[in-house]
Each structure stands twice: as C-alpha cells, then as structure tokens.
Amino acid sequence: MTRNFVVMEKSIDQFNEKVVAEMARPGSVYNRGYGGKEFREGSPRFPHLTESERPRFIRAAYQMWSLILLDSTLRELRISTLKFKDIQTLIDLVELCRFRGFSLILDKQTMELEAQTLGLLVDIAFISLKSAAELIIAKFYTEERRYCPTLPYEIAYRGCVSIWDNWTDYKKDVILQGLNGRKQDRPVSEVWYETSDEELMG
C-alpha cells in the first residue's frame, strides 16, 4: 500500500505540472466552465487538483492502472463492468496524457508494459473503452439523443470534462439527458452513480 501511495502521489504531481498548471495560466482558454461559469466563481484556477478533483483523479488512475496490468481477456471483462461515467473519465485522462506527452502512472512495471506494448494506453482508451461506451450508447440512448463519447476540443480541456469541478455538472447533464425520451424507465444506474469525495478517498 505504501508503494502504491508513493506512485499515486508522483502521478498526481506530474498531472498537476503537465495539465493543471496549464489550465491555471492567466488567460488560459482551458479555464472556462459549463455555461461560461468560471472556476470557483471568478477565483483564479489553482495550479493543482482541488480537494474534490483529487479523488476523482485517484479513482480513475487506479482503475486505469489495474486495466494496464491485466491480460487482454481479463481487461475486457473488467471494462464490461464499468459504468458509462467511469468509461468517460478514463478516456478523458488518456486523452490528456496523450496530448501532453506523459505516462499516467509513474510505476516502473506499468511503464515497462507500456514500452513493450507500443500504444497500450491509447488502445485501451480509444479501442476497448470507446467500444464499450458505444455499446452502452446503442443499448440505452435514443437515436435522437445519441451521446458522443468524444466531445469537441473547444469544450473544457480538449473535450475532457470528467475531472474538473466547473465541468462536472455538464458531464452529468449530457450523460443523463441522453436518456430522455425513452419509452421505458430511464436506466440511470447503468450510466451514472453518485460517489462522495469521502467514499472516493476511503
């Protein structure tokens, strides 16, 4: 557990340096929020994850870490159990890592696996996870309200909305609104669940 904690702290520090500090830069286009809402109602964006963003990152990073270490069969089985909310967060994180050019998990074994299997992280996100997202979309969403697992780059940070405090309402609204208009009950539990920061940190 101590080793995992150290790895995760290093990974958080790197994410803050590579991604969050860029968002905090004065005048950054990435410091916008849902409906034009600024970070913390006009307060400057912190150059690090907030107390509520940090557990979102930790949860997703541990999920991706476990997916990297599994063999392909077990990985696909694990992905099939994920909710749409989690899938979207994992895709977002990998996109940020790919764009900024860094490894999500600063663990020797994990980085060696990524080096041995070129494009492993990208394949997990943009083939396996995106395929799982598309299956959920086809199963639960109406044709008229089809949700796209990849959002336009001009939204949040290159379309990645899952971590940031001032975009979480947007993510929830878009995912749940896609269920409107269905003939049967909205299967909210299949795509979304609420998790408190305390549960995430536990």
Residue-wise pLDDT for 70-113, tens only, equals 999 999 999 999 998 999 999 999 999 988 888 888 888 888 88
Q: What pLDDT, on the 0 to 100 scale, is given for residue 157? A: 80
Low-confidence spans in the chain with pLDDT less than 50: 144-145, 183, 197-202
Q: What pLDDT, on the 0 to 100 scale, is given for residue 69? A: 92
Q: What pLDDT, on the 0 to 100 scale, is given for residue 202? A: 36
Residue in 194, 104, 183 with CA at minimum distance from that of residue 143: 183
Please count the CA atoms within 13 angstroms of the CA of 173 that sit on its side-chain side: 8
DSSP percent split of the chain into helix, strand, coil, nearest 5: 65, 0, 35
Contact between 177 and 71 (Cβ < 8 Å):
no
CB-based burial, 34-49: b 16+ in 10 Å, e otherwise: beeeebeeeeebbeeb
Rounded Cα gap, residues 112 and 172, in angstroms:
35
Q: What pLDDT, on the 0 to 100 scale, is given for residue 79? A: 96
Contacts of 13 (CB under 8 A, 6+ apart): none
Q: What pLDDT, on the 0 to 100 scale, is given for residue 188? A: 80
Rounded Cα gap, residues 11 and 68, in angstroms:
15
- Provide the 8-state DSSP code for 39: T
Contacts of 124 (CB under 8 A, 6+ apart): 64, 67, 68, 75, 90, 94
Is 110 exposed, middle or buried, given 0-12, 13-18 or 19+ CB atoms closer than 10 A?
A: buried
Q: What pLDDT, on the 0 to 100 scale, is given for residue 183? A: 45
Residue in 39, 134, 49 with CA at minimum distance from that of residue 93: 49
Q: What pLDDT, on the 0 to 100 scale, is given for residue 58? A: 95
Q: What is the pTM of this model?
A: 0.84
Q: Which residues pair with 160 in a beta bridge?
A: 157
